[in-house]
Chains A and B, each alone.
Chain A
């Protein structure tokens, strides 16, 4: 570095302090310094002020209300500790709703992701009219979930709905979509999948297109077939995007409300709570039974569930899908051990 050469010259100046430079502190200069310091906070303030009022305050206040027996008339509450949480957790409906939500969530997110990966890998090929196909998969995304719910509710009608009449055409007896819990979950999951497959497809397609095409070239030269290439190159490269998609679909899937709400005309999750979901139950407690304390406790329970499942998903995805750039099939520890062995060998050969 040239810094060492210039150092002796600098030292005397540092020894006796240099005369203060006559700085012109004009008004505009001061204004500009003030500008530099304050502006960032001014720019983020609209967001944070609004967010504090309609985002943060409600979250904290929900926690407060959840410990209260809320009186709608006086519009205030009485502290009852964990009673509301205990009440929720001892309701059989809560456990039904939890089971239903999970069932619908699994039935929607798993096929949704598999389909999205499949369609994305088809779109990733060298096809004609790319934009047209990409746009066509996104059509359902602009249809309101309520509208999707109404359409599919009619298609899944138990007596002679379109789906059942097609099933009967191929010799399968009609399925009681609105009676049987499992089939009602399948029907609702179908609505969710209809709306979200295209969206996730495009996200995954973007990640696929970002993969360096040289990898495929090299793999082909090495004799890897398309399936091997898919699992050894495409999937590992999708990892960050997959985590993103899984997390977002977990957050969305566990909150499901619109589709089960319009799955019949009563909107209460079916005659025997076949498709009652957590959010549907929350709505019923809050605005059906008008008990805000319990609804608030329900909201916090839902949040904790979402956090828990989100974390589990993150960990599972991390372990299952191998890391980007790690294509040797060895774990990190194995790689290190191999590196150490190689070093040793090199040393011994030098001796």
Chain B
């Protein structure tokens, strides 16, 4: 919703006479914006390298053989990556392809469900008045401090009663809702939708659900996209609960990865080739959607 956004600064500055503009510009430059020098880019470069190097390193080691880890680090990839990757893919103890498929569809379902339940609840908390609403919202936020560990024992008992241990459903069902998601959508919708818009829709005779659908869902779209991304990444990388409840034949990628290492002797070139294989899907996602992820984190923080 672009309602209420101030006009971009550039337009305001166009009206300023040249001399004033220059003086203003000069002032800003002197205070904060002095084009930063080498050390700034040096620092950022170092940060960039330390973020990317471990991934590059695991690719290089993953392209070597069992001795590569011990020797001096070869700075360029060796020729064995395909071979190591094949070893991971064909290892019957790892179940890579089922793990990949499980990770994809469980993360997708979880993210979709979280977006739906959070948008609905967020809309109600942000824009509808009802008895107990504010108290319930406080309650939702408070539950964000509860650690995952507090629920795992009963959940395990519950799912083993249902005969679901080892089933991927056991990791999907508990993740269908998210307190963070509700909070996120509430915060976003509160400032993104002016109350007048809802009143107007009501006066025009729109039912609640129609108002939600035409006004709420439309406005929520950017926040929903970000929530989807975050939930997807979080669910993809989740380890503790899937490790407990899934069996080794039907893992998700992190569980499969942890199995790579738990053999009696470890060939790290194979392990790290597996790490690369398991990391590439999310890196691809990041290349496409990283901008949204960044702006999502930054947007969430201002309000948080």
Contacts and interface: CB of A to CB of B under 8 A. Distances in A.
Contacts of B66: none
A106 interface: no
A146 B150 contact: no
A146 B258 contact: yes
Contacts of A40: 124, 128-130, 133
B261 A255 contact: no
Given A47-B182, A54-B155, A133 B149 contact: no
B120 interface: yes
A38 to B, nearest CB: 9
Query: How many residues of B sit at the interface, in one of the four size bands?
Result: 35 or more
Contact of A257 (B209, B239, B263): B239
B233 interface: yes
B112 interface: no
B193 interface: no
A144 B70 contact: no
Interface stretch (A4-12, A17-25, A298-306, A320-328): A298-306
A122 interface: yes
A244 B187 CA distance: 15
A44 B136 contact: yes
B40 A299 contact: no
Interface string A61-96: 110010000000001000000000000000000000
B120 A54 contact: no
A111 interface: no
A287 B286 CA distance: 35
A303 B128 CA distance: 33
A261 B259 CA distance: 11
B212 to A, nearest CB: 7
Contacts of A47: 117-118, 120-121, 140, 177, 182
B149 A299 contact: yes
Contacts of B293: 138, 141-142
A292 interface: yes
Nearest to A262: B258
B18 interface: no
Contacts of A310: 145
A151 B123 contact: no
B10 to A, nearest CB: 16
A139 B117 contact: no
B155 A147 contact: no
A46 B151 contact: no
Given A126-B33, A147-B278, A255 B298 contact: no
A206 B207 contact: no
B1 interface: no
B27 A217 contact: yes
A198 interface: yes
A173 interface: no
B208 A125 contact: no
B12 interface: no
B18 to A, nearest CB: 21
7 contacts: A43-B212, A143-B283, A144-B257, A213-B32, A255-B147, A255-B148, A283-B240
Interface of A: 32, 35-37, 39-41, 43-44, 46-48, 50-51, 54-55, 57-59, 61-62, 65, 75, 119, 122-123, 125-127, 131, 133-148, 150-155, 157, 159-162, 165, 194, 198-199, 202-207, 209-210, 213, 216-217, 220, 240-241, 244, 247, 251, 254-255, 257-258, 261-262, 265-267, 279, 282-283, 286-287, 292, 295-296, 298-300, 302-303, 306-307, 310
Given A127-B40, A203-B304, A213-B32, 11 more contacts: A40-B129, A58-B155, A75-B161, A135-B290, A139-B52, A147-B279, A155-B54, A155-B57, A217-B28, A255-B149, A292-B153
Q: What are the 6 tightest A-B residue pairs by CB atom distance, in nearest-first order? A: A58-B151, A40-B130, A39-B208, A61-B154, A126-B33, A206-B298
